Chains A and B, each alone.
Chain A
Amino acid sequence: MANHVFVERPRYTCASGGAVATVTALPGGIPILHAAQGCAGNFAWTQNGAAGLQVGGYCGSLTVPSSNIQEREVVFGGVERLHEQIGHTLKIMDGELFVVLTSCVTEVIGDDVAPVIAEYREQGIPITFAETAGFKGNAYVGYDLVLQSLFRDVLQRGIPTVKRNVNLWGIPPYQDVFWRGNLSELRRLLEKLGLTVNSFFTAEDTVESIRHAASAELNIVVSETYGLEAAKAFQEIHGVPFLSLPLPIGPSATEPFLTKVGEALALESAVVESVIASERRSFYHTLGPLTDCYNDFDLQRYAIVVGDGNYAPALTRFLADDLGWLPELVVITDPHDDDKQTLLQARVAASPTGLTPQLVFESDGSQIIEHFRRRWPSDPQQKYKNAFNPAFVVGSSLERELAATLGAGHLSVSYPVANRAILDRGYTGYRGGLRLIEDLIGQIIAGR
């Protein structure tokens, strides 16, 4: 099991890094780091290596304004430097939304940034802040903290509810390397239900739609682990309830997703059913021609799934429920409290196939092989044995060595994704399910 004295090759950066990535994904979003000079570069290099070749955004990478505090500020305080930095940022940078993000150093030295931000807000500047010291948590926490700040400071308060307006989140930009595609497909499906969707981070979203987000009837969080503190804050501040659902990948998961959204909004069930029917028809119409080769090449696989709290259960259920593969071991690599662990366990166990893959919470990739050997003991001397093959590892790019050890195929989906270029590919919904089948089988037959 996971040790608690270190994390091996953490599959995320810190709260500040997650926050910077989140702000750079907002329309016209400009992060202002209140940090030592290296944090921005660390995040840029991290994205370079881990985010499917996506670095930056409108104002990301080394373009991010940063107070670059030094030893002098550590001794005397960094508020004055921050003040100067914000003032000049507003003169140079062209942004629609500015978010000051604090860091380890500025929080340890106790810089009080709230009054500084309040001063600019009083002048009508679209600016907020989040306290995102790295020691407060990982990139998922940073994502949640930025959303909380938006909900607190950027969203207009007291505006009337507009029927069929919804907000959608739960997919952290860059930390989910497929964030654009994943959000777009879910937007498309929700719009097909007749909803108006604000999803914060797609090319269709605007600062204006974000400001009016409190008009929503419902907040849909496609995660059972990420963005939930923000959902609670939203409800508290603006009175909008939220629905937390698993990340839906493929028809078997997307159908209950749409049904639950329909129920929560009291949509006519006939509308929801017809959307589901047309999407399902299109999915299977498209999948059909694969069937000859799927059978001829014997493309069913045993599987090990490694990923974060969103992906690991969602991918496992897709492989089992839609593709008919055999997941044996599921590894969740980021930290979750006991309640969340129980919830995620239930998701994995609920497959209608009756398959019961083992779920472990393990941060250290090198230990996965040990979990596997306990799960599937093997005697190399045996003449006839039910070996773990043909097999496939769906994980991050750090699972390449594991896949090679097992002689299994491999696809990087969960962070880090070092060996794929991702632009707007996504795996959610119906179309995402098709993309995932293409990518999995593409890996298996690459040498054909």
Chain B
Amino acid sequence: MSFFDQKEPPRREERLGACIAMNDTVHNLAKKKSCLHDDGERAFNQGSICLLLPALAILNSIPDSVVLIHGANGCGSSSHSQNANTRSGSFQRTGTGKDALWLSTGLNETDVISGGELKLAPAIREADQRYRPKTIFVVSTCVPGIIGDDIDGVIAEVQPDVSARIVPIHCQGFKTKIWATAYDAVYHGIGRTLLDEPDDAAPEAAQGDAQDAALEAPTGAPQATVQTASPENDQPNRTVNLMNISSMGRVDELELERLLKAIGLDVNFFPVFASPDGMFRMTKAALSISTCPTHDDYILKHLHEKYGVPYQLKHMPIGIENTNQWIRDIAAFFGVSDQAEQLIAREEQELQAALAEFKPLFAGKTVFVSAGEFRALVTAQLLTELGFTVSGIRSFHHDEFAEEEYKKLARQSKDDYVVNIANVQPFEEANLLQKLKPDLFLGHTNGNMTAAKLGIATHVIYNTGLSYVGYKGAYELARRLYRQLRNPAYNANLAKHLRLPYQTEWYQSNPFQYIKTRGGSLHG
């Protein structure tokens, strides 16, 4: 039975053996299988995010939709930040910047006692009548999860009276510590509800039937060059799905589209900013391409199993060699390797010439990287290509998709360095950075403050307004780092006049002291 036959997707702890608390080194990780890792827990924690937040980041971008958050009035307030991305993203794609439309059922004490279902049905009906959306995403949170609201039951009951398609998204934050489960939660809702072709779908969209091309193992690149012809016009289907769950802005989408067009492919992006009525088009593509395996495996496997769309789930196109490999695998699938090699050679030559201006400043500088696992590892590879020496990496979680990336990093560096798996936990980071004193730190959004207050030059590793991906991204990132390193005075001044909220003794302790292994003992 498929995961998609269940109401909720499985937790990544079970599905992928993902873990969040670990202290290791890059050379060690390059040798281990991820299933052999000993996940731990922390006896001291700082807050992080839950799956609701990245899920909302995707849902808030989807046009003609309403996001109805079923929970207390604060769940979903992160939308205020995501709204900036929705406004700029819709402006870049349509010329009009629109506010995201999110609603809260605002469960109160009475609802907690009497159940929230009573509020949900009228909320869906009112949202449908007032805003006339194509889709209503009903997002369930912690409280309905505990008091036992059956949101799927309510949806089934009201759907006949409601013209919008209602999509349940399950986001009970306490249920999983791996917030990447958010992507599964969103793809699960889309996969179960939005992939059927609407009756009034535009005819030109329905190109090519589902394919049954051979498929390699999930982490292997598809080798098949078999092309099925579209029944209408005998032209081979060259339309690909490019998955973006909001880890890339429009500028990065355009870079990847440019590269794929250069080898003769047409690109559709899913699911951010994609019309709900057009989601079914992802079932018609010749190939689904992931831009980050951690994000996309759940839907790509579903598209293959149910609709026969083969997929590529390997490499993230951040870093020069990674971009080369990403293109090569796609090109091999379509039998256009020669074109791809010409493209790669041309792009690399131009890029290397352009980077020459920055490399002398980077040479010998140490860098510490912190982000979601795949993003952190591929960015570290890019930074090595730019001439930095990686002195440490922190990843938000660890799972099997990254095994190959640790191997790449180990090959790049003969010196070993620390890899800390942590769902943020800046106290460990502060301790590590104080010991390692890197010249530069790249952290996720909301993740640069610690390094900044320690006086280290910083740059954000992910921001949908900035370019990171492909050859252009490599250049633009280098250009921004060059700028940061030329004058890190903002951070240097902070370090002189502000302190982090940790006791002096903490910096002398083992940074991993509070990680408990399964046996239950604390590190010494």
A positions within 8 Å CB-CB of B: 3, 5-10, 12-17, 30, 33, 35-46, 48-50, 55-56, 58-59, 61-71, 73-74, 84-85, 88-89, 91-95, 104-105, 108-109, 133-139, 366, 398, 400-401, 416, 418
Question: Residues of B contacting A135 with CB < 8 Å?
Answer: 72-73, 107-109, 111-112, 143
Judge if B119 is at the interface, Cβ distance under 8 Å.
Answer: yes
Query: Which B residue sits closest to A63, measured CB to CB?
Result: B426
CB <8 Å contact, A94 and B77: no
Query: Cβ of A37 and Cβ of B173 under 8 Å apart?
Result: yes
Question: Which of these, B47, B83, B84, contacts A66 with CB under 8 Å?
Answer: B47
User: Does A49 lie within 8 Å of B83, measured CB to CB?
Assistant: yes
Known contacts A91-B503, A92-B506: A63-B449 contact under CB 8 Å: yes
Tell me which residues across on chain A come within 8 A of B119, comparing CB atoms: 5-6
The answer for the CA separation of A113 and B519 in the assembled complex, in Å, is 28
Q: In the complex, what residue of chain B is closest to A92 when comparing beta carbons?
A: B506
Q: Cβ of B447: which chain A residues have Cβ within 8 Å of it?
A: 62
Q: Which residue of A lies closest to B505 (CB)?
A: A91
The answer to whether B423 touches A37, judged by C-beta atoms less than 8 angstroms apart, is yes
Closest 3 CB pairs of A and B: A40-B47, A38-B50, A14-B74
- Pick from A17, A68, A88: contact of B77, CB below 8 A: A17
The listed residue with most B CB atoms (<10 A of its CB), out of A6, A14, A39, is: A6
Judging by beta carbons under 8 Å apart, are A6 and B106 in contact? Answer: yes
With A45-B81, A64-B46 in contact, is A5–B126 under 8 Å at CB? yes
> For residue B98, which residue of chain A has the nearest CB?
A401
Determine the chain A residues whose CB is within 8 A of the CB of B83 once the complex forms: 49, 418
Of B174-182, B240-248, B311-319, B322-330, the one contacting chain A is: B174-182
Q: Mark B28-58, 1 if CB is under 8 A from A, else 0.
A: 0000000000000011111111111100000
B68 touches A69 (CB 8 A): no
Alpha-carbon separation in the docked complex, A14 to B102 (Å): 15
CB of B446 within 8 A of CB of A55, answer yes
The reply to whether B45 and A41 contact each other, CB–CB distance below 8 Å, is no
Interface 1/0s, chain B 69-82, versus A by CB < 8 A?
A: 00111111111111
In whole angstroms, what is the CA distance A109 to B108 when docked?
15
Task: Tell me if B73 and A12 are in contact (CB < 8 A).
Answer: yes
Tell me, in angstroms, the Cα distance from A109 to B112 when the chains sit together: 11
B156 interfacial contact with A, CB 8 Å:
no
**A-contact bits for B445-464, CB 8 A (1 contact / 0 none):** 11101100000000000000
Given contacts A10-B77, A62-B46, A94-B501, contact A38 B72 (CB under 8 A): no
Residue of B45, B447, B502 with highest tally of chain A CB at under 10 A: B45
> Interface size class for chain B?
35 or more
Q: Assess whether B220 is interfacial by the CB under 8 Å rule.
A: no
**Does B475 make an interface contact (CB < 8 A)?**
no
A46-B81, A58-B501, A84-B43 given; A6·B105 CB < 8 A: yes
Given A5-B122, A71-B174, do A138 and B45 touch, yes or no (CB 8 Å)?
Answer: no
Known: A42-B53, A46-B81, A133-B72. A35 touches B146 (CB 8 A): no
- A92 adjacent to B44 (CB under 8 Å): yes
Given the interface pairs A40-B47, A105-B146, A108-B146, the reply to whether A9 lies near B122 with Cβ below 8 Å is: no
Q: In the complex the two chains form, what is the Cα distance from A41 to B147 in whole Å?
A: 23
B289 within 8 A of A: no
Rounded to whole angstroms, the CA-CA distance of A67 and B105 in the bound complex is 26
Query: Closest Cβ of chain B: how far from A242's Cβ, in Å?
Result: 27
Please measure, in the bound complex, the distance between the C-alpha atom of A67 and the C-alpha atom of B449, giving whole angstroms.
Answer: 21
Please determine whether B44 and A88 come into contact, CB atoms closer than 8 angstroms. yes
In the bound complex, do residue A108 and residue B143 qualify as a contact, i.e. CB atoms below 8 Å apart?
Answer: yes
Chain B residue contacts of A42, Cβ below 8 A: 49-50, 52-53, 74-75, 77-78
- Residues in B with CB closer than 8 Å to A398 are 99
Please name 15 pairs of A and B residues whose Cβ atoms are closer than 8 Å in the assembled complex, sorted by A.
A3-B126, A5-B122, A6-B119, A10-B73, A37-B174, A38-B47, A38-B48, A38-B49, A39-B47, A41-B47, A41-B48, A56-B449, A84-B43, A104-B143, A366-B101
Contact with A along B140-160 (1 / 0, CB 8 A): 001100110000000000000
B77→A13 contact, CB < 8 A? yes
Interfacial chain A residues near B446, Cβ < 8 Å = 41, 44-45, 48, 55, 61-62
- In the docked arrangement, what's the CA distance between A41 and B427, Å? 15
Given A62-B424, A104-B72, CB of A89 within 8 Å of CB of B44: yes
A30 to chain B, nearest CB (A): 6
Question: Distance in Å from the Cβ of B4 to the closest Cβ of chain A?
Answer: 23
How far, in Å, is A62 (CB) from chain B's closest CB?
5
Bound-complex Cα distance A94 to B77 (A): 29
Contact present for B47 and A35 (CB under 8 Å): yes
**Distance from A32 Cβ to chain B, minimum over Cβ atoms (Å):** 10
Residue pair A62, B48 in contact (C-beta under 8 Å): yes
Q: How far is the CB of A326 from chain B (nearest CB, A)?
A: 27
Contact code string B489-524 (vs A, CB < 8 Å = 1, else 0)? 000000000001111101000000010000000000
Is B123 positioned at the interface, with any CB of A under 8 Å from its CB? yes
Determine which of A6, A30, A418 lies in contact with B68 in the assembled complex, contact meaning CB atoms within 8 Å.
A6
**Is B215 engaged at the interface, CB distance under 8 Å to the other chain?**
no
Bound-state CA distance A88–B81 (Å) is: 32
Supposing A108-B147, A135-B109 touch, asked if A418 and B174 sit within 8 A by C-beta, the answer is no
Q: Cβ of A418: which chain B residues have Cβ within 8 Å of it?
A: 80, 83-84
For B74, list chain A residues within 8 Å (CB).
10, 12-17, 39, 42-43, 46, 134, 138-139
